Structure 1
Amino acid sequence: MTQPSGDGAAMAAKGSYYSNVNEDLLQIVPATAKRVYEFGCGEGRLGWAYKTWNPQVEYIGIELFADATAKAREVLDAVHEGSAEDPALTTAALEQHGLADALVYGDVLEHLIDPWAALKDHLRLLKDDGVVCICVPNAQHWMLSVNLVAGHFEYQDSGLHDRTHLRFFTGRSLRRFVEGAGLQFTKVKRRRIGTQPPAPLKDLCKLIGGQSKASEESLYDDLTTFQYVVQAQRKTATPPMRIDFKKLADRGGFNFTRVTAPARAFNSVPGVSGSVYGETATVAANPDGPNVFVWQRPILRKASDLRQIPVLRRHKKLIITDFDDDPDLWPEIAANNYLSFRGAHAVQVSTESLAVKIRQWNPNVFLVPNRLTQFLPYAESRARTEPDTLFIGGFNRGLDFEAFAATVNAFAEQSQRNWRFLVVGDEAIWRALDTENKEFFDILPYDRYLNVMRRADVALLPCADSPVNAHKSNLKFLEAASVGTLALASRNVYGRSVAHGSTGFLFDSPESLAGVLREVEGHPDLDRIRLQAYEQIRRDHALYPSIGATLDLYRDLYARYDMLDGDLGERLQTHFSQPGDGQAAR
C-alpha cells in the first residue's frame, strides 16, 4: 500500500493491512492480462495470489515503504520503491516494462494527496483497451454517517476512520472520479463486511427517501456498502458478451473445472459477464452483444428439452453443449437420437478423440481442453507432502483399479517402507487395498480434493483399456503435477501427456506397474521429475492465459449465428419430425 506520509513504524502497526488479499479486487483483474501494475502493492500478496491464477503474467508493484518493498520483491516480477504520485516513477516504469493491461489500486487512492492527477499520470502506463481496478472505502457507510451525525470522527489505525485517509469517496463521487479520467465503469462490486447494520436503518432510509429523490432501496444499498470495488476502461466499441452456464448438480468438485472456474475467469474480463445456474437457467439476454448458453453435459430428452431449445433460440442465444466424457456412458443420449449434440449450435469437448466421435451428430465441435485455475509455488505444495503416501481417486474407478489391485497390494506388503494410501471417491478401491494403513474420503469439494492429493508423494492413475477410457482426458495428471505429486499413469490415457521418466511414469499392465513401483521406490531424484511436471503444466495448462482464445472462439461462432441457427433448425426438423415433435420448429 502506498502512503503519502508516515514511517516504517506506522506501517508495522498495520500488520495484515499490508499482507491481506482482497478477493473481490483479485477477481476483477482480467484473466487475459499479460502485464499488471499495482500501485501500493504492500508486501505483494494480491499480486502473488493473481500469479497463482495467471502464471504467465508480468506483475509489477509500486510501493512507498522499504520494508514492504523488500517482501514484495520476493513474490512479484519487479517492484519500484517510491511514491505513486511521482511522475518520474511512472516514466521509469514505462521505459523499463512498457504498457500494461491493468492498473490496480487496492485501498490506495484515498491515501493520495491528489488522486485525480495521479490517476491521469498513471494512465500513460495503460494500453488503449486496458482496465483500471480500484477498491476504495465508502465514506457514506452507515457507521461513518452515524458517527458524523452524532458529532464523532475519531481517527483509527485502519478502516473507515484510518488516520492516513486524505480523500473520501462515495459511490457517486467515485464514478465522477473515474469518468473525469476518461474512463467508464465496466464492473461494480459492493463489499459488505463488518458489523451488521442496525434494524432502524431501513426506517431511516425510508424517511430520507421521502424527503429526497433517492429511493429507500438505493439509500440502504449505499449505506451498507463498506467498500466499492470497480473495474473501469476507456470507452470501447466492442459489444458486451453474456455467457450463461447451466451446470449439473453439484457433486464434489465435479463442475469446477468445466463451469465454475471458467465462469469466474470470463467474469474478470471487461465487457464479459459469466453466470452459473443450476436446475433453472435464465433466458435473459444481452440486447447489444453476443449471448452464449453453455449447457454442461446435458442428457436432453425429446419430450421436454425440445421445448426449451426454441426459447433459447428466440433470445438468440448461442447454445453450446459442453461434454467431457464418452456419451455411451448414458444410454438415454442414444435413445433420444443424440439430441444432446444435435440440439446445440456447437459442442465443446475436452479431447480430440471425443470431438471426432461427436462430429457424426454435429459438425461444429471444437476443443476446450481441461485447464487448471491455481498453481501454488512448488515448494509450498511439497511442504505439505507426507512421505510414502499414495493417492488413488475418482468417480466409479473401481473397475479401472481391479486389474492392478493385486500388484499394489503385493508392493505394499513387500516394501521396506510403511506406505499409506489415500483413497477419494470410490469405496471399492479402498476395500480392494489389503492393508489397514489407508484412509477413505467420500466425494469432496474440489479444493479439499486437491489438498488430499497434495498430501501424497505419489498418485496412481489406473485406467482399464476400454472404449470409454479412449476418450478420457488427462485431467488427473494435470492435477497431480500442479500440486507436486508424482504421477504413475496408464499409458492408454496418459501416454501423450506424461513423458516416462521425465514428468512421471507410465505403465500398461500389472507387470509393468510392478516394475514402475520398484523403480520409484529406489529412484534417487524423484523431486526433479515432480518439478519438471509442475513447470510444464504451469506453463502450458493454466486456465487464465487460455481465456482470451476461448472468448475469441465464442465471438467467431456468434458472428456466424444465423448460419449456425439455420443448420440447427434443419437438424431438428430432419431428426425429430415425428408426431408430437412440432415444438422443434422455431
Structure 2
Amino acid sequence: MTPAPDYPDVGNPDLLDRIPLDADVVLDVGCHKGALGAAYRLRNPRARVLGVDHMPEAVRVAAGRLSEVACIDIESDPLPFEVPDGYDCIIYGDVLEHLRDPWRIMREHAKLLSPRGVMLICVPNAAHWSVPLRLINGTFDYEDQGVLDRTHLRWFTLATMEKALAQTGLQACDVTPRTFDQKGAETAADLLKDVLPAMGLSRENFLARSAPMQFIWRARKTPAQPIAIRSTMLKPFAAVSDIRVIYPMRALKTDPSVSVQVGDIDTFPQPSERQPAICVLHRPLLVGDEGVAVFRHLMQRGFLVVTEFDDLPDFMPQLRDERLMNFRAAHAVQTSTPVLAEALRQQNPEVAIFPNGISELRPIVNFMTPGSVTLFFGALNRTVDWQPYMPVLNAAAAALGAQLQFQVVYDQAFFDALETPHKSFTPLCDHRTYMSLLAQSEISFMPLLDSAFNRAKSDLKYIEAASARVVPLASPTVYGDSIEDGVTGLIFRSESDLYEKIIRLVTAPGLGITIGNAARQSVAQARMDAYGVADRVAWYRSLLDRREELTRAIYDRVPELAP
C-alpha cells in the first residue's frame, strides 16, 4: 500500500457522514494522520477508533488523534488490535486501489465485522470521463493525485466493485457518487454524442457512470429491512430546526438501512412494501378539516405519521383549539422531556422521549485571552427571566471593568440594559454562528424563573455550552437536574449568589477551565446524538411493526379519518 507522500491531512466529509454514528469500534485502514477518525471522535467520543498505516511519520501524528494506531503493511501484517466483538465499521478511504490484492483483504476483513458491521469504501472511478478522452488522444499520463494517481495498482468501476463486494459475502447497501467537475463530464458527453448510441448508451447513462470521480460504497454483514424517515421542517429559527430535525436526521442517515429526507410533504417519494416510510411532522399546526385532510393524505399515500413537538401546548393559544389534530391524528408523538411527554399523552398515548443532544463537540478555543472573560447570553423570549438579574450583571460589570466582556445574541433589550462598553451584539443568526460565538466565550448565562412553562423546557443551553467547554452559570429550574453544582457548572439561587459566582469565575479563570472541562466530558460521555441513534431506529421500526394497531387507535380518536 503506497499512498502519495503528500496525502492531504483532511478527512473525507462524505465518508465521515456515512460512518455509523453509534459504532463502538471503528477501524480506518490507511488512516494516514488520523484526520477522519479525529473528526468522527468529535461526534462519537465513546467510540474506540483504530487506525493502521504503513508510513511512520503519519502514524506518529495519528497516535495523538485516535484511540490506537499501528504502523503495519496491511497486506502482509495481521491487525494487532484486540477486538473480541468485531469491528462495527471498517473504512477504506482511497486505499484499495493502492493494494496488490485488495480482494483478499476485503474477504479477510469482512470476517472481522461485528454482526451489525459495515464496510465503508471510497474508490476512484476508472470509468471517469477523463480516462476515455485521454485514451482517444493516445495518452495515459500518471499524476500525483486523482484517478490516474501514479501509486494506483488496481482499478474499479461500479460493476467491478459491486462484484468484489459480493465475493466478500457482504451485501451492498448503497453507493454514493462524488462528482467534482460536472461541466467537464457534460463536455465529454457532447464530444462522444455520435459514439454513445452505437455503444447502447444514452447521454444520461454515460454521465451517471462517468461524471463521478469517486464512489462511496456501504456494505453490511447482516442486512436489515430498509426504512425511510421523511421529515418536514419549519423555516430555520434559532436552533429549533437544527437540534430537533437536521442533526438527528443526519445521525439516522449513518445507519445504512435508513433513508432520510427533509422537505415538503409532496416532495417525499411514495412508500413501498420494500421500504416502508415514516413522515415526521415538525411542530405542525393542523386544525379542523384542513388538519384532517393533511393526515388523510399522508395515510392514504402509505406513510406512518409522527408529530415532533418540544413545547408545552397548554401555554400556546393556537394549540388549545379543541379541533387541533397535531397529536390526536398522528400514529405517535416524539418530544424532548418527560414533562412534555406527560402533557402530550393526554392527547396521544404513544409518545417517545428523545432528549436533545449534541451533534459534535466544538474545538476548544476559549480561555485563551489572559485577564479577560466573556459572558455569553443568547436566548429568545427570556426578558422576564433575566430582568431580575440585570442589576447584578451591571454591578459585576462595574466592579470588573474590561475583565468582564459580554457577548449577546438576538436579545437587543438585554444588550441595551447592560451598562458597560465591553459588550458585543449579534442579531438572530444560524446555529453554526451561534455555536461559534458561544465557543469563544467562557461563561454561559442561563436564567429561568420557576414556572410551569419553564419546567417543561429542556437543558439544551447547558449541553451546548458544555460541549464547547463554556462554564454553565444557571438557575436551578431545569438545569439543577443536569448540572452537578461546582463540578460541571455553577447554579445560582439568588442575586447575591450570581454576583459572587461571576466574580469568582473572572478572577480565578483556572476554576472555569476545570469546570468547563468536566462539563464537556459529561456531555461527551452521555449527551451526544450518536448515543440515541439505536433507540430512535428501534422505536421507528416498532411503530411500523404496530402500524395496524396504531391506525385503529387513530380512528378511535378521530373518527372522521376512518375509511
**TM value normalised by structure 1:** 0.91
Matches within 5 A, 1:458-477: 458-477=443-462
Match of 2:21, SS state, is coil
Q: Once the 2 structures are TM-superposed, how far is the Cα of residue 258 of structure 1 from its aligned partner?
A: 0.8
The residue aligned with 1:506 is: 491
Q: Once the 2 structures are TM-superposed, how far is the Cα of residue 216 of structure 1 from its aligned partner?
A: 2.0
Cα root mean square deviation, aligned:
2.1
Match of 2:28 among 23, 31, 38: 38
Match of 1:405, SS state, is helix
Q: State how far apart, in whole Å, the 1-side matches of 2:84 and 2:468 are.
A: 31
Name the CA shift for 1:385/1:197 in 2 (closer, same or farther; >3 Å): farther
Match of 1:571 among 553, 557, 562: 557
The residue aligned with 1:120 is: 107
Q: State how far apart, in whole Å, the 2-side matches of 1:385 and 1:358 are.
A: 48
The residue aligned with 2:300 is: 314
Name the CA shift for 1:447/1:337 in 2 (closer, same or farther; >3 Å): same
Q: State how far apart, in whole Å, the 2-side matches of 1:209 and 1:142 are.
A: 13
The residue aligned with 2:475 is: 490
Q: Does 1:585 align with 2:562?
A: yes
Q: State how far apart, in whole Å, the 1-side matches of 2:27 and 2:550 are.
A: 41
In structure 2, what residue type is equivalent to 1:536?
S
Does the 8 Å contact 1:290/1:555 carry over to 2? no
Match of 1:415, SS state, is helix
The residue aligned with 1:54 is: 44
Q: State how far apart, in whole Å, the 1-side matches of 2:273 and 2:490 are.
A: 52
Q: Once the 2 structures are TM-superposed, how far is the Cα of residue 248 of structure 1 from its aligned partner?
A: 0.8
Q: State how far apart, in whole Å, the 2-side matches of 1:502 and 1:134 are.
A: 43
Does the 8 Å contact 1:346/1:364 carry over to 2? yes
Q: State how far apart, in whole Å, the 1-side matches of 2:264 and 2:475 are.
A: 34
Q: Does 1:540 align with 2:526?
A: yes
With 425-434 and 112-121 compared, the bigger mean Cα shift is at 425-434
Q: State how far apart, in whole Å, the 1-side matches of 2:411 and 2:267 are.
A: 31
Does the 8 Å contact 1:382/1:483 carry over to 2? no
Name the CA shift for 1:279/1:410 in 2 (closer, same or farther; >3 Å): farther
Does the 8 Å contact 1:138/1:227 carry over to 2? yes
Q: State how far apart, in whole Å, the 1-side matches of 2:208 and 2:369 are.
A: 43
The residue aligned with 1:89 is: 78
Q: Once the 2 structures are TM-superposed, how far is the Cα of residue 382 of structure 1 from its aligned partner?
A: 5.1
Q: Does 1:226 align with 2:213?
A: yes
Q: Does 1:433 align with 2:418?
A: yes
Q: State how far apart, in whole Å, the 1-side matches of 2:403 and 2:314 are.
A: 41
Q: Does 1:424 align with 2:413?
A: no
Q: Once the 2 structures are TM-superposed, how far is the Cα of residue 437 of structure 1 from its aligned partner?
A: 1.8
Matches within 5 A, 1:436-447: 436-447=421-432
Q: Does 1:407 align with 2:392?
A: yes
With 407-416 and 528-537 compared, the bigger mean Cα shift is at 407-416
Match of 1:459, SS state, is strand
The residue aligned with 1:392 is: 377
Deviations 1:325-346 (A, max 9, x none): 2223431111253321112111
Match of 2:435 among 450, 462, 466: 450
Name the CA shift for 1:198/1:555 in 2 (closer, same or farther; >3 Å): closer
Deviations 1:257-306 (A, max 9, x none): 11111111111112111111147552621322442211111111224221
Match of 1:176, SS state, is helix
Match of 2:17 among 21, 27, 44: 27
Q: Once the 2 structures are TM-superposed, how far is the Cα of residue 315 of structure 1 from its aligned partner?
A: 3.4
Q: Does 1:375 align with 2:375?
A: no
Q: State how far apart, in whole Å, the 2-side matches of 1:45 and 1:320 are.
A: 38
Match of 1:515 among 488, 494, 500: 500
Paired residue total: 562
Matches within 5 A, 1:224-373: 224-234=211-221, 236=223, 238-278=224-264, 280=266, 282=268, 284-373=270-359
Q: Once the 2 structures are TM-superposed, how far is the Cα of residue 135 of structure 1 from its aligned partner?
A: 0.5
Does the 8 Å contact 2:173/2:220 carry over to 1? yes
Q: Once the 2 structures are TM-superposed, how far is the Cα of residue 383 of structure 1 from its aligned partner?
A: 5.0
Q: State how far apart, in whole Å, the 2-side matches of 1:46 and 1:278 are.
A: 33
The residue aligned with 2:120 is: 133
Q: Once the 2 structures are TM-superposed, how far is the Cα of residue 199 of structure 1 from its aligned partner?
A: 5.0
The residue aligned with 1:3 is: 2
Deviations 1:136-188 (A, max 9, x none): 11111122221121111111111122110011112222212212222222121
Matches within 5 A, 1:189-208: 189-194=176-181, 196-197=183-184, 199-204=186-191, 206-208=193-195
**TM value normalised by structure 2:** 0.95
The residue aligned with 1:577 is: none
The residue aligned with 1:159 is: 146
Name the CA shift for 1:422/1:507 in 2 (closer, same or farther; >3 Å): same
Q: Once the 2 structures are TM-superposed, how far is the Cα of residue 510 of structure 1 from its aligned partner?
A: 2.7
Match of 2:78, SS state, is helix
In structure 1, what residue type is equivalent to 2:420?
T
With 189-198 and 550-559 compared, the bigger mean Cα shift is at 189-198
Name the CA shift for 1:383/1:99 in 2 (closer, same or farther; >3 Å): farther
The residue aligned with 1:579 is: none
Deviant stretches of 4+, over 6 Å: none
Does the 8 Å contact 1:248/1:296 carry over to 2? yes
Q: State how far apart, in whole Å, the 1-side matches of 2:500 and 2:306 are.
A: 44
Q: State how far apart, in whole Å, the 2-side matches of 1:429 and 1:280 are.
A: 42
Q: Once the 2 structures are TM-superposed, how far is the Cα of residue 195 of structure 1 from its aligned partner?
A: 7.4
